[in-house]
A and B are shown apart, each in its own frame.
Chain A
């Protein structure tokens, strides 16, 4: 479904702040893979997701999504095949627009936007059903401005927006990191449910090693801009946090994972 070959990106090239963010990443995802990504600060996890989404031009390498080379496509064109949820709940929705208007924008991802009405009656009924599934009571507030929702509600809405038009690949960039633990776990189970129901190929960055082990069928660990550990299936299911820490110290030369990873 997704194939990365030798993907490289260096930020601030030629300056004192030069930072090799991705150093020739190779990665292949099968359709239906749910991959969790862990790694320390600056390991390149978000950069990897952003390189797939087309946030910046690559320095080298190719990205093929479902047989189509998207390496040099601009971000808004790649969006046709991608569902994305950011870490910051504010980034995924338009605060001053209604819930149903936000959903209508998302429903037209990758489609031509013309002069027909931005949202139809049937659409609205459909959104009512989809919002009901979130179990947050949002279906009764469809004409409320999104800015009135809590961070968790906004993130749940963003998640629904990302899968409303089924994406070929779902990119989740620490999408629960800004939420309180209870809300985070709710959004996470919602993620699981939506991914399973829609059979979505998913890349999820997380700093929570329990979640990384518990969710998905495959786990990759990144360090200094590359994948250093890739495990799937039963082997992955049998991992413990201690295993991951050990593995991390092994490959990164004794360096410990950051506090945030250990504490959560």
Chain B
């Protein structure tokens, strides 16, 4: 059980990088970007092919996976901004096409990373630690790096413009911000992180699979809402931007711990997607119910308070 939990934590951190990507589109731009399912698998497939078929360095493989994710995000971004296709539909189109593209990239539905170096084997050899420790360590370092970089980026001029885009496009245009550009940047950046996460997960599990990204968006949303609930429960009320990013990754870790626990308890692994969907649905439903009941309770016949 302890081993399963340790695995869940490091898995949660690696997937947490994907959650950061989903956070950008879902919380900053208010878009549920369905590209994610495809770009996560794309990152993994590209990284696998780069190291197995092309014999490239594992770091280069991860970089290529990230770049592929960026390109996938840009495709969704262009469909959405240049041709006014609704963001959800643009994401679906890219996601579906990526399924075929991923098969083309690998030439088959599954690529095992047998006998090739990964960043994890490398670090575990260099530091003389177990592979699961290496996975935890690398995940933590990259996740912290991503959080710091995102925190910095969203504080810059272009980053501020991007945050404003998600809130008020009329204002942005009136202030000279080209919202097509900011959305394109956000979608590319987001899917770059997703691709990075996919590549890392692929190297850590030692295979890439055509289905590895299926349901990733729901996992991302579930992790975000779990993180937000935790943030609200914490005494300091973690509302600052840095802590919102951190809680997204923490939410991902909790998600994978929950997953490990219910699997240990004998739940069918295939039911996990249902559970994720229920978590997200509940997180979206509860605030609506609370608001309605508050409105109903506020009513009194005389209108007095």
- Closest Cβ neighbor of A111 among chain B residues: B176
Question: Are A101's CB and B160's CB within 8 A?
Answer: yes
Query: How many residues of A sit at the interface, in one of the four size bands?
Result: 20 to 34
Interface string of B218-258 (1 = CB under 8 A from A): 00000000000000000000000000000000000000000
Across-interface contacts of A75 in B (CB, < 8 A): 173-174
Of the candidates A86, A91, A94, the one whose C-beta lies within 8 Å of that of B163 is A94
Question: Are A92's CB and B160's CB within 8 A?
Answer: no
Question: Are A115's CB and B170's CB within 8 A?
Answer: no
- Closest Cβ neighbor of B160 among chain A residues: A118
Of the candidates A80, A105, A161, the one whose C-beta lies within 8 Å of that of B160 is A105
Q: Does A84 reach chain B (CB closer than 8 Å)? A: yes
Nearest Cβ distance between residue A61 and chain B, in whole angstroms? 21
Of the candidates B160, B168, B177, the one whose C-beta lies within 8 Å of that of A76 is B177
- Closest Cβ neighbor of A107 among chain B residues: B175
Q: Does A104 reach chain B (CB closer than 8 Å)? A: yes
- Closest Cβ neighbor of A54 among chain B residues: B173
Across-interface contacts of B173 in A (CB, < 8 A): 75-76, 79
Q: Which of B154-204 contact A (CB under 8 A)?
A: 155-161, 163-164, 167-168, 170-179
Contacts between chains A and B (CB distance < 8 A), count: 82
Q: Which of A82-110 contact B (CB under 8 A)?
A: 82, 84, 86, 90-97, 101, 104-106, 108-110
Question: Are B175's CB and A115's CB within 8 A?
Answer: no
With the chains together, A76 CA to B180 CA distance in Å?
10
Question: Are B157's CB and A94's CB within 8 A?
Answer: no
Across-interface contacts of B172 in A (CB, < 8 A): 76
Question: Are B168's CB and A113's CB within 8 A?
Answer: no
Q: Does A116 reach chain B (CB closer than 8 Å)? A: yes
- Closest Cβ neighbor of B164 among chain A residues: A94
With the chains together, A40 CA to B177 CA distance in Å?
33
Question: Are A86's CB and B157's CB within 8 A?
Answer: no
With the chains together, A86 CA to B172 CA distance in Å?
13
With the chains together, A166 CA to B146 CA distance in Å?
38
Q: Does A77 reach chain B (CB closer than 8 Å)? A: yes
Across-interface contacts of A161 in B (CB, < 8 A): 175
With the chains together, A108 CA to B155 CA distance in Å?
14
Question: Are B161's CB and A94's CB within 8 A?
Answer: no
